[in-house]
Amino acid sequence: MKNRLKVLRAERDWSQAELADRLGVARQTIVALEAGKYAPSLPLAFKIGKVFSQSVEDIFDADATD
């Protein structure tokens, strides 16, 4: 599933570890999400939206895959 996580993270100058810490998840989760190899669970998708103050559909594109 394609997403804008890497861009949003870069805009804020956050490392993968920092984003993982803000979301309360393992850094391996961020690595997998940014590689587009994994669709997040619904609670995590909402948490990501909250952290970036954006809607889930503005971050994730459910119709596109890598």
Partner 1 sequence: MNRSQQLRVAALGLTLAFAGTSRAPAAALPPAPVPAASFDAGSLHVDRYGSGPQSLVLIPGLGSGAWAWYGTIAHFSPTYTIYSITLPGFDGRPATSKRPLFSTFAADFWRMLASERIASPVVVGHSLGGTLALLLAEQHPERLRAIVAVDGLPIFPPLASKTPQERATLAQQAAAQYGSLDSAKALAYEMNFMRTIGTREKSLVEPTAVLEARSDPKAVAAWLQEDLTTDLRPSLSKITIPVLEIMPYDPDFYASLGLTEAQTLAFYRSMLSGASAAKVEPIAPARHFAMLDQPDAFYALLTQFLAETAGAAKVL
Nearer to partner 1, 14 or 38 (CB): 38
Based on the shown chain and the rule CB under 8 A, indicate whether residue 29 belongs to the binding site for partner 1.
yes
List own/partner pairs for 25-31 with CB under 8 A and 24 or more apart: 30/5
Q: In the complex, what is the shortest distance from the CB of residue 55 to partner 1, in angstroms, rounded to a whole number?
A: 19
Helix (H) or strand (E) run with residue 2 in it = strand 2-3
Q: What one-letter code names the amino acid at 32?
A: A
Quote the CA–CA distance of 10 and 38 in Å, as a whole number.
Answer: 20
Of 8 and 29, the one with the shorter C-beta distance to partner 1 is: 29
Rule CB under 8 A: which residues touch partner 1?
A: 21, 24-29, 32-33, 37-38, 40-41, 44, 47
